[in-house]
Amino acid sequence: MSQHRHPGAPGRTGAVPTLPDLPEATVARLPEYLRALHALAQAGHETVSSEGLANAAGVNSAKLRKDLSHLGSYGTRGVGYDVALLIDQIESVLGLTQCRSVALVGVGNLGHALAGYDGFASRGFRIAALFDADRARIGEEINGLVVQHVDELPRVAAEESISIGVIATPAPAAQAVADQLVAVGVTGILNFAPCVLSVPEGVDVRKVDLAIELQILSFHEHRKASLTALPATGGSGLTALPGGLAATDTQEAIGT
């Protein structure tokens, strides 16, 4: 809305002509479907039913069909979905047809691991540059990339268009880094620092906090322990209903 700084090639997009206005919950699951589809393709499947794909992705088949229906009708009744076609469609919707460049800021413990993680490259992301604020770390080479000072960010961003920034710094430094990323036109940030970031409108921030995930697990452990410790609470008729443990984006009890 305010700043449209398009990187270079506007061109006409050969892919999806409409803006499908997907539900966020669906968007969050599409990458999982994509991974499952790639695995199926690898295994030689040409088509897959909603049941089969849902199984591979760890979701309900009805949910999967509804999700896919939002992209259009790319299945064949009585047969299933064409694996290759569906892969193309989902990649197109997710914008993975072009390789996106990622800037990683903070090459500490976690940053190191992220820089070496090959799961990024294998899914269409290229780590374009590594930055750190610590002068002692500058010049270090990780996975073929040389760590640069974070002040170099504007220069690097001018050379190649960075579409996503990853923050793997300590929490106190994260806000300043976010500001710098925004300043060079980055509108998508993946934040591993345990803190809240303030960004202007139009910039997306996704947060991954490893300790939070553990604490959520801890809650469920705590609750399960309490349940087993209370054999007969005086209350209601239903005691331990088996299906009641499922969590929101937690897979549970997918029996063999």
Partner DNA sequence: CGCGATTTGTGCACATCTTCACAAGCGCCT
Partner DNA sequence: AGGCGCTTGTGAAGATGTGCACAAATCGCG
Site for its own copies in 63-122 (CB under 8 A): 93-96, 100, 102, 109-110, 112-114, 116-117, 119-120, 122
CA dist., res. 65 & res. 49, Å (int): 10
Question: Can residue 27 be called a binding residue for its own copies (CB under 8 A)?
Answer: yes
Residue 82 one-letter amino acid = D
CA angle 30, 82, 16 (to 5 degrees): 55
The gap from C-alpha 162 to its chain's centroid, in whole angstroms, comes to: 17
Of the pair 181, 197, the CB lying nearest DNA is at: 197
CA distances to 21, 30, 112 from 24, in Å: 9, 10, 31
CB of 202 to its own copies, least distance (A): 7
Piece of 22-30, 67-75, 81-89, 131-139 that binds its own copies (CB under 8 A): 22-30
- Does residue 57 interact with its own copies by CB under 8 A? yes
Neighbours of 126 (CB within 10 A): 11
- DSSP tag of 99: P
Interface characters, 123-162, with its own copies (x: CB under 8 A): xxx-------------------------------------
The item of its own copies, DNA, none sharing an interface with residue 79, based on CB under 5 to 8 Å by kind, is: DNA
Q: Is 1 in the site for its own copies (CB under 8 A)?
A: yes
Q: How far is the CB of 90 from its own copies (least distance, A)?
A: 9
Task: Please name the residues in contact with 176: beta carbons below 8 A apart, sequence gap of 6 or more.
Answer: none
Q: How far is the CB of 45 from DNA (least distance, A)?
A: 12
Collapsed DSSP state (helix, strand, coil) of residue 199: coil
DSSP readout, 211-236? Answer: HHHHHHHHHHHHHHHHHHH-S--SS-
Asked if residue 176 binds its own copies (CB under 8 A), the reply is no
Would you count residue 237 as binding its own copies (CB under 8 A)?
no
Q: Which stretch binds its own copies (CB under 8 A): 23-31, 41-49, 79-87, 144-152?
A: 23-31
**CB contact at 8 A, 38 and 56:** no
Binding site for DNA (CB under 7 A): 23-26, 48-51, 59-63, 65-66, 68-69, 73-81, 248
Calculate the alpha carbon distances from 196 to 187, 191, 217 in Å.
16, 9, 22
Q: Which does 74 bind (CB under 5 to 8 A by kind): DNA, its own copies, none?
A: DNA
Q: How many residues bind its own copies (CB under 8 A)?
A: 97
Asked whether position 19 contacts its own copies by CB under 8 A, the answer is: yes
